[in-house]
Amino acid sequence: MEILYEDTSGKCTRPARRGRFARQSAAPVNKQTNRRKIPAYALLDETALQAIEQQADWILDKIGVEFRGDQIALDLIAAAGARVAEQRVTFEPGLVRKLCSTAPFEFQLHARDPANTVTLGGDHVVLMPGYGSPFVTDLRQGRRYATLNDFQNFVKLTYQSPWLHHSGGTVCEPTDVPVNKRHLDMVLAHLTLSTKPFMGGVTSPERAEDSIAMARLVFGAEFMEQNAVMQGNINVNSPLVYDDTMSGALRVYAAANQCVCVSPAIFAGAMGPLSPAAVAAQTLAEAMVGIALAQLVRPGCPVVMGSFHSTMNLKSGALTFGSPEANLATMALSQLGHRLGVPVRSGGGQITASNAPDGQAMQDSTGAMWSTLLSGAHQVWHAAGWLEGGLVMSYEKFIMDLDHCGAMLTMLQGFETDAEAFGQDAYFETGPGKNFLSTQNTMRHYATANFQPDIPEGGPFETWAENGGPTSAHRATPRWQQMLADYTPPTMDPSTLQALTDFVSDRKALMPDEWY
């Protein structure tokens, strides 16, 4: 199944494939509830798309990308026909796109509970919590450094939500754990406290290896040789640099046939030119190189074209999120990824620079989420909890964002235009000026008709004011507290659990604590 765009002739159309050769087919796709039924929005026309693709080719031809300290990567790329001069690699126009062509457009990311297995790509949507925050906040305890307990809490909350399909990666930094041991505790939490797909460590090739080794204890090495059960997030050191940590971790995940998400990180005007067109072109160029490297390591291995981009307040220098320029770049990148023929991780999500889960936070987040989902992005990081430019995971914003994830996923289902939806019988029961509330059609549907948020509504003003006028953020607090109280861990075979905990303690015992 491929992404469908709307057109006005009544036929859904597929994006033109450019420079695609053999297409790797993935395992059969399960029927899932996270498939979009409404078409993707096509922001750009063919002329604009080609201009951006040509600019990406120009960057890779005239400027190139550096692989710093990774001779294996340089050798692989040179052997594939790229020009290598010391650490700098340049490419003939079209070559990188051709190297990406063995990547699948759609594949499964297997979960410990098969019911939670997701498809990445096609018309599927996979939502995930925030990633990478050193702080957490809630309205009771305030802002503080994140701990392993917070990390585990967010894994538990994500596990319980029907609107997040993936446990995420470094949902928040467990800052009370030594830096060199965090990946062990995080992967352990993802594997034991949840049964959703997850991301493993990437901060060194060894930590990537540890993560994969732990997953093998659960899924089996043989299964993982053929199937992806985890993702690694490979951040490009934009502009145009892959350091050996990232390219090394990329090679580890690709070699193990696990999913590589390549995420350029471009603050427009700082890591590249200012314009949305430039952000899109450079993101495409940088991402294609990482995807090409993954395909050279293991043709057909699952990849995601990621992006993370931001605008700035050019007066204050502060990063801004959910800006119109960023949302345009997000929508363009969905289209460009569809044309490349790989799943797209959106640069959007529910992101904001706001310090509080206030109006600005949700204005930024909601707009960024619309640009993400309407344009047909397949995977959405930072779909819940992200605050303060990513410095903070907010327990209340997490709950508020979940409600919006549910609303958006509901909207992506579209609506029926059949006789039951039109309710002709109800018109015969009532008529002009009459109330439809008691009609059979309303009675048949009222229990399930509308999406119902989890945060209770404010209610009539007077009652609400008497109760102290709680904002939606305040009304979210009891919800996450209740969810944590209600949490029941999924079962796991005791010997598997023992093997995991033994692995973690053994690895920890071998390493002195490092705190940087």
Residues 285-314 that bind a second copy (CB under 8 A): 311-314
468 touches a second copy (CB under 8 A): no
Which residues does 56 contact at the CB level (< 8 Å), separation at least 6? Answer: 281, 282, 284, 285, 288
Nearer to a second copy, 220 or 414 (CB): 414
63 touches a second copy (CB under 8 A): yes
Looking at residues 311 to 340 of the shown chain, list those that interact with a second copy (rule: CB under 8 A). Answer: 311-316, 318, 320, 323-325, 327-328
Quick one: which of 174, 276, 290, 343 contacts a second copy (CB under 8 A)? 276
Nearer to a second copy, 225 or 457 (CB): 457
Quick one: which of 28, 431, 468, 494 contacts a second copy (CB under 8 A)? 431
353 touches a second copy (CB under 8 A): yes
Stretch that binds a second copy, among 146-154, 207-215, 224-232, 456-464 (CB under 8 A): 456-464
Q: Identity (one letter) of the amino acid at 361?
A: A
Looking at residues 233 to 252 of the shown chain, list those that interact with a second copy (rule: CB under 8 A). Answer: 237, 239-241
**Contact between residue 324 and residue 128 where contact means Cβ atoms under 8 Å apart:** no
Nearer to a second copy, 15 or 306 (CB): 15
Quick one: which of 24, 147, 203, 430 contacts a second copy (CB under 8 A)? 430
DSSP 8-class letter at 59: I
Is 72 buried (19+), middle (13-18) or exposed (0-12) by CB count in 10 A? middle
Query: Within the chain, what is the greatest distance between any pair of CA atoms?
Result: 80
Quick one: which of 85, 140, 222, 461 contacts a second copy (CB under 8 A)? 461
Alpha-carbon distance of 488 to 398, in angstroms, equals 19
415 touches a second copy (CB under 8 A): yes
59 touches a second copy (CB under 8 A): yes
Closest CA to 328 of 367, 362, 270, 386: 367
Least Å from the CB of residue 128 to a second copy: 19
Give the 3-state secondary structure of residue 133.
Answer: strand
**Contact between residue 260 and residue 232 where contact means Cβ atoms under 8 Å apart:** yes
Least Å from the CB of residue 216 to a second copy: 35
**Contact between residue 108 and residue 224 where contact means Cβ atoms under 8 Å apart:** no
- Give the CA distances from residue 426 to residues 202, 419, 445, 460, in Å, rounded to whole numbers and listed in that order: 58, 11, 12, 30
Quick one: which of 21, 58, 145, 223 contacts a second copy (CB under 8 A)? 58
Quick one: which of 81, 114, 414, 478 contacts a second copy (CB under 8 A)? 414
Is 5 buried (19+), middle (13-18) or exposed (0-12) by CB count in 10 A? middle
Closest CA to 258 of 290, 289, 225, 306: 225
**Contact between residue 336 and residue 284 where contact means Cβ atoms under 8 Å apart:** yes
Nearer to a second copy, 312 or 377 (CB): 312
427 touches a second copy (CB under 8 A): yes
Closest CA to 405 of 126, 124, 55: 126
Closest CA to 291 of 103, 87, 90, 88: 103
Stretch that binds a second copy, among 45-53, 117-125, 173-181, 210-218 (CB under 8 A): 45-53
Quick one: which of 84, 213, 407, 484 contacts a second copy (CB under 8 A)? 407
Quick one: which of 27, 29, 51, 484 contacts a second copy (CB under 8 A)? 51
270 touches a second copy (CB under 8 A): yes
Nearer to a second copy, 165 or 339 (CB): 339
Looking at residues 486 to 505 of the shown chain, list those that interact with a second copy (rule: CB under 8 A). Answer: none
Q: Identity (one letter) of the amino acid at 33?
A: T
Quick one: which of 139, 411, 497, 499 contacts a second copy (CB under 8 A)? 411
Looking at residues 186 to 225 of the shown chain, list those that interact with a second copy (rule: CB under 8 A). Answer: none
Structure tokens of 90?
A: 């340049």
400 touches a second copy (CB under 8 A): yes
139 touches a second copy (CB under 8 A): no
